[in-house]
Amino acid sequence: MPRRPSHLMANFTLPQLPYAYDALEPHIDATTMQIHHTKHHQAYTDGLNKALGSLDAKFQSMDAVDILKNIDTVPENARGAVNFHGGGYNNHTLFWNNMKKGGGGEPSGELADAIKKAFGSFADFKTKFQTDSVAIQGSGWGWLVKNASGGVQFITMPNQTSPWTRWKAEKLTPLLGLDVWEHSYYLKYQNRRADYVTAWWNVVNWDEVAKRFKA
């Protein structure tokens, strides 16, 4: 996560992708990745800085996850913008790291056990995740999250609202997120969101998800 000087106003910067734009071909095409990263993720980054700019000094030095966990403390006139852009900033950072070249397959170890316990089997988990993500009306994300009891569950979130905003009430930690905004698939898949999700399983970085589950 990029650092920023504490004496200045919020200065979040666009995190670098952990791979080349064409690394996820043919499942996710290079042009989509480039625009998604340099235009959309950049816009959330800029929007977050702008939204935080008018707030108290204490918000300028918080990291994005802390801001999202404490979204209820953000003054009401800026809360919507901070929720949207802060969520967009953090969601996309997670998303890039949730994928890798040559990903896919199935998780192992404790994460695999937790998925089996929550969903019955890995196949049942995939069906639930895919069906409910495809069914999101408009824009949003499907998430595998860790819950307060240390297990996992699936949730959907609208627009860019982060699962971290449910930390105080439910102790949810995002593990694996799937962006189903049209900007994440439209160039290659047009209206075929289900085809995008089917392809996306081939690039999931289960090692990263397992690391987040254990942390």
Span of 62-70, 79-87, 135-143, 181-189 interacting with Fe ion by CB under 5 A: 181-189
Tell me which residue of 184, 212, 28, 180 sits closest to 107, measured CA to CA. Answer: 212
The secondary element (H helix, E strand) that includes residue 80 is: helix 76-97
| Min dist. Cβ of residue 15 to Fe ion (A) | 14
- The β-bridge partners of 143 are 155, 177
| Min dist. Cβ of residue 181 to Fe ion (A) | 5
- The β-bridge partners of 204 are 99
DSSP secondary structure of 117-141:
HHHSSHHHHHHHHHHHHHT-SSSEE
| Min dist. Cβ of residue 105 to Fe ion (A) | 24
Confirm if 1 and 15 have CB atoms less than 8 A apart.
yes
Q: Which of 44, 164, 181, 185 binds Fe ion (CB under 5 A)?
A: 181
Q: Which of 74, 179, 204, 208 binds Fe ion (CB under 5 A)?
A: 179
* 143 is a contact residue toward Fe ion (CB under 5 A): no
- The β-bridge partners of 145 are 153, 174
Q: Which residues contact 66 (CB under 8 A, 6 or more apart)?
A: none
Closest-by-Cβ residue to Fe ion is 179
| Min dist. Cβ of residue 60 to Fe ion (A) | 25
Confirm if 93 and 193 have CB atoms less than 8 A apart.
no
| Min dist. Cβ of residue 126 to Fe ion (A) | 21
What x-and-dash track marks residues 183-212 binding Fe ion by CB under 5 A?
A: -x----------------------------
Question: How many of the chain's residues bind Fe ion (CB under 5 A)?
Answer: 3
> According to the annotation, is 7 in a ligand binding site?
no
Euclidean distance between CA atoms 129 and 156, whole angstroms: 9
> According to the annotation, is 179 in a ligand binding site?
yes
> According to the annotation, is 36 in a ligand binding site?
yes
From the number of C-beta atoms within 10 Å of its C-beta (0-12, 13-18, 19+), residue 196 rates as buried
List of residues contacting Fe ion (CB under 5 A): 179, 181, 184
Binding-site residue positions for Mn(2+): 36, 92, 179, 183
